[in-house]
């Protein structure tokens, strides 16, 4: 029974790892590639480690697999976020089929902060500067 469960976990982990690799090759921009690589590969590695821990059967192997899994589960999302933030700040172009561009909204906000009292680039009236709108901390 353990061999069957291990085989299923290894096949599932291998399939997720393959999907992550295909996603990195097929996705159109850095943000979607990053999503494919971090989510699918983390889930794939989790399945592979769980299968390995079940196959080994001893406590030392279980602790090693759990330690590796915890390290990967904690570091992969952080690394993906750091890469996405660096790409965002470097103005890496989005895919042409992107529906929502939050960078455009951020650019409008920054323009309103840089030039208070002037209309925003999208034609909206100027933001009212008051004590509630202040971001200064003294």
Instruction: Return d(Cα 39, Cα 43) in angstroms, integer.
Output: 6
CA-closest candidate to residue 40, choices 22, 17, 66: 17
CA distances from 58 to 52, 63, 64, 111 (A): 11, 9, 10, 60
Are 135 and 114 spatial neighbours (Cβ–Cβ below 8 Å)? no
**Rg from Cα positions in the chain:** 23
Output the CA–CA distances (angstroms, integers) from residue 34 to 26, 30, 40, 56, in the order listed. 12, 6, 10, 32
Per-residue pLDDT of 63-78, as tens digits, reads 999 999 999 999 998 9
Among 20, 78, 89, 13, CA closest to 51: 13
Q: What is the pTM of this model?
A: 0.66
Q: What integer is the mean pLDDT of 76-90?
A: 87
pLDDT attached to residue 98:
74
pLDDT of residue 35: 86
């Amino acid at each position: 029974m353990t061999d069957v469960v291990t085989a299923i976990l290894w096949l599932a982990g291998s399939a997720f790892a393959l999907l992550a690799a295909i996603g990195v090759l097929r996705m159109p921009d850095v943000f979607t590639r990053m999503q494919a690589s971090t989510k699918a590969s983390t889930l794939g590695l989790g399945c592979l480690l769980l299968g390995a821990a079940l196959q080994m059967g001893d406590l030392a192997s279980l602790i090693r697999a759990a330690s590796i899994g915890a390290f990967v589960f904690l570091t992969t999302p952080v690394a993906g976020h750091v890469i996405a933030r660096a790409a965002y700040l470097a103005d890496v172009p989005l895919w042409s089929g992107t529906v929502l561009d939050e960078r455009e909204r951020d650019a409008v906000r920054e323009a309103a902060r840089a030039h208070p009292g002037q209309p925003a680039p999208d034609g909206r009236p100027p933001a009212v500067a008051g004590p509630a709108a202040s971001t200064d901390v003294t």
